[in-house]
Chain A
Amino acid sequence: MRKILFVVYHAPCGTIWPNEGFRTAFGMYGEDIEPEVLFIEQGVISVAKETECSKIGLFPLKMVQKYIKRYGTAVLVEKESLNKYKVKELDENFPTEVISREQIKEKIRQNDFVIFM
C-alpha cells in the first residue's frame, strides 16, 4: 500500500483547490493507496463552520462530506493556520484532526508522496 498526502493551502472560495484536493484524493481509492488531506494557510477556511461557498454562487465544498464519510478519508488541519486566520469553530461534518506544524513534518515523512494544491 502507498500513502499520499494532499496539502491544500489555497482558500475554498476563490480557488478550486480544496475541492480538487478532495476529488483527487477520492480518485486514489481505485488503487491500494491511502490518501490524507491536510489544510494549511488559507486552506483551513475550508473546514470552518461558517464557510459556505455556494452562498456567493460558487461550487459548494460541502458536497464532498458524504464521500469523506463513505471512504473514511482523514482530514487534517494545521493548528497554527487556524489561529492565524482566526477560525474558531470547525464544521463537525468534516471529521478533522487538528495537528501542529511540528506534527506535519512527521506526516510528510510518513507519506510516500506529497501533492500541494
Chain B
Amino acid sequence: MDKLKITIQVMVPPYTNQDLDTAMNIAEACLDRGHEVALFLFSDSILASNAKVKPVRSDRNIPERMRLLIKEKNLRVDICGICMEYRGVKPEDTVEGAEPSGLPELANLVMSSDRFINLMA
C-alpha cells in the first residue's frame, strides 16, 4: 500500500473519555505500517499534551506515550494554541516535540491528508 498521510483530530479530555487512547492506538498502528500521522489536539484534548500530568502508577501515562510516539515513531502533534490559552497550558508545559498550532494548520492538514479521522466522544 502507498504511504498515506493521516490526520486524527481529538476533541475531548484525556482522562474523562478514552478517545486519546484510541487516537494513539490508531496512530501507532498506522506509523508502524509506514504511514505519516498527525494528531491535532482541539478543545479539552489539549490537556493530554501537558507533561506535568501525573496519573496513578497503575494507569496509563498519556502524555508520556505521546512523547515516545513523537520521539521514536515521528508522530506529529499539533496543539490548538487558543485552546491552550483558554486552559492555562503554556508551551513549556507540553511534551517535547508537540507544537502549538491553530486553525490555519488544521485547514492545511485537511487539505493535504489522504484520511481524516475525527474522534468526538
Contact = CB atoms under 8 A, between A and B. Distances in A.
Interface of A: 2, 4, 16, 20, 23-24, 26-33, 112-117
Contacts of B111: 2, 31-33
Interface residues of B, number: 15
Contacts of A26: 103
Contact of A117 (B11, B103, B104): B11
Which 9 A/B pairs are nearest by Cβ-Cβ distance? A27-B103, A113-B116, A31-B107, A31-B111, A115-B118, A116-B120, A30-B104, A30-B107, A28-B107
Name the prevailing secondary structure of the A interface residues: mixed
Contacts of A16: 43
Nearest to B111: A31
11 contacts: A2-B110, A2-B111, A20-B42, A24-B106, A28-B103, A32-B111, A33-B110, A112-B116, A113-B110, A114-B118, A115-B9
B108 interface: yes
Contacts of A4: 110
A28 B110 contact: yes
Contacts of B43: 16, 20
B106 A27 contact: yes
